[in-house]
Amino acid sequence: MRVRAPLRWVLWDVKDTLLQVRGSVGEQYAKEAGRLGLSLSPAEVDNAFQQAYQHYNSTYPNYGLSQGLNGQTWWVRVVKETLSLCRVQDPVLINTVA
């Protein structure tokens, strides 16, 4: 008889099923960046986020678990890449927002 390993993760995609977000990713990120004095276009952030998300999702699938990442690290990298694509260069600001 084979013993199964305990279940480690249960993930749900709750967007538009259990939760409704207010505004796009670009609107949310631009708003938070604005609180730190950055002026980012929501459309630019949406485009940058889409690029960053696609890159990390294809390069590090499943939140990078097989490459030694965890979900939090994976998302922080996506946010940092998004800001970099928006030409934010200050590492302190990038780390604060991410």
Q: How far apart are CA 84 and CA 77, in angstroms?
A: 10
What does pTM read for this prediction?
0.76
Alpha-carbon separation of residue 97 from 24, 25, 40, 58 (angstroms): 17, 13, 13, 24
Q: Are 65 and 48 in contact (CB under 8 A)?
A: no
pLDDT in tens, 62-85: 999 999 999 999 999 999 999 999
Average pLDDT over the chain, rounded to whole? Answer: 88
Q: Which fold has domain 25-97?
A: DNA polymerase; domain 1 (1.10.150)
Residue 94 near residue 73 (C-beta atoms within 8 A): no
Domains of the chain, by residue range, sit at 25-97
**Considering only CA atoms, which of 44, 55, 54, 51 is closest in space to residue 88?**
44
pLDDT (tens digit, 0 to 9) for every residue of the chain, 98 residues total?
677 777 677 776 776 677 777 789 999 989 988 998 889 999 999 999 999 999 999 999 999 999 999 999 999 999 999 999 999 998 888 888 88
